[in-house]
Amino acid sequence: MAPAQRPDPPVPAAAPVPLLKHGGIFTAVNPADWIRHWRQPNHLMLAVPWPGFFGLITAGYLLLHLLFALLYRLDPHGIAGVAGETTSFSEAFFFSVQTLGSIGYGTFHPSSLFTHLLVTVESLLGLIVIALMTGMAFSRFSRSTARILFSDVATVHDYEGLPTLMFRLANERRKTILEARVQAYLAIDERTREGHRMRRLHPMALTRDRSPLFLLTWTLMHPIDVHSPLRGRTSADLRAGQAEIVMAFSGVDATLERPIYAHHHVPAPGVLFGQGFDDMMQEEEGQGQCFDFANFNRTHPSPWHGPDLS
């Protein structure tokens, strides 16, 4: 009789892999994460902040001279005018500085064919490096920035008898922007009939999405009608779908005559149902009407007859 087989020991269940929640549609393209451009030097030099830009130029400048100083040291008698019998590292380094900058004080000068060839290569490389650095610096200076301020929250309340989503923009530079245009989308997680989870972008029609001139502030309105992707959704629905209101701004800087772009997103907790923005136009005694930018993000309870008052 065959011996009874011992049952295999139970295999411990694998530890569940934690799911990482995304932080918004712009998480993967954060402009502050400039280090990811290191494989594209031109993109890196345009994306890095100004202190980093000058730091990279300084580091590259020093590394280049250190490299040529080591090459000049291969021929200890190749540089004439040095203090000792052979060229020291510091003398080779400063000779490289003079060569790349075309300074030529006259104290140091090449005295061998090898050093003459190195000077020729470094001079040619210096022309290319200076041209590249000048072009990148000019590109950074000539690049126009939007400086468009978006409201931290979006409000939903009744307007002209129809529930309406509103958010604000402000021109921080107070300089005229021509042909301003705003596009708004609802980004939300949805599942297909087959059960696939997808991040979808639903366009949101605005009452006025273009302005020939944009100088101070602009309140954008999206009527929640039968065609709106927000129709029938509550704040709980938006939170469950990790929804966010995505806004994209474009226009032309009237001073530089260059296009400018800006974008922003408001997550689901920032969509305030039953709230409205405070009026920014205030009456001042002896001064008439003026804008109070302290009210840019302030809200107050406003009538809202939708399915959700949270």
pLDDT tens for 139-186 read 887 776 778 889 999 999 999 888 999 999 998 877 889 999 999 999
Q: Give the domain CATH number at 77.
A: 1.10.287.70
Looking at the structure, do residues 35 and 121 belong to the same domain, yes or no?
Answer: yes
Q: What is the pLDDT of residue 168?
A: 92
Chain segment 194-233, per-residue pLDDT in tens: 888 888 999 999 999 999 998 888 999 999 999 999 988 8
- For residue 20, what are its two tokens? 């990482």
Continuous segment of H or E residues that includes residue 202: strand 197-204
pLDDT in tens, 100-124: 888 876 788 888 999 999 999 999 9
What does the pLDDT read at residue 107?
81
Domain containing 297 equals: 148-301
pLDDT given at position 138: 86
Residues 95 and 158 in one domain: no
My answer on whether 135 and 153 are in the same domain is no
Which tops the pLDDT comparison, 175 or 55? 55
pLDDT given for residue 310 in this prediction: 42
Q: Are 175 and 255 in contact (CB under 8 A)?
A: yes
Closest CA to 261 of 166, 205, 196, 181: 181
> Which of 58-62, 108-112, 293-297 has the highest mean predicted lDDT (pLDDT)?
58-62
CATH number of domain containing 233: 2.60.40.1400
User: 306 falls in which pLDDT band (50, 70, 90)?
Assistant: low
Where a domain ends, among 91, 126, 142? 142
CB atoms closer than 10 angstroms to residue 287 = 8
If asked whether residues 86 and 204 sit together in one domain, one would say no
C-alpha to C-alpha distance for 154 and 166, rounded to whole angstroms: 6
- Report d(CA 166, CA 183) in Å as an integer: 13
248 in the same domain as 165: yes
In a domain, 115, yes or no: yes
Indicate the pTM of the whole model. 0.64
Domain co-membership, 114 together with 34: yes
pLDDT band at 16 (very low <50, low <70, confident <90, very high): very low
The residue from 142, 174, 201 where one domain ends is: 142
Q: Are residues 44 and 79 both part of a single domain? A: yes
Q: Is 162 in the same domain as 291? A: yes
For residues 160 and 91, membership in a common domain is answered with no
The pLDDT assigned to 202 comes to 93
Average pLDDT over residues 48-59: 88
Strand partners, 259: 252
- Cα-flanking dihedrals φ and ψ of residue 235, to 5°? -65, -30
Pair 236, 292 in one domain: yes
Of 46 and 120, the structure prediction assigns the larger pLDDT to: 120
pLDDT of residue 46: 80
pLDDT at residue number 36: 60
Lowest-pLDDT choice from 31-40, 47-56, 116-125, 257-266: 31-40
The verdict on residue 3 lying in a domain is no
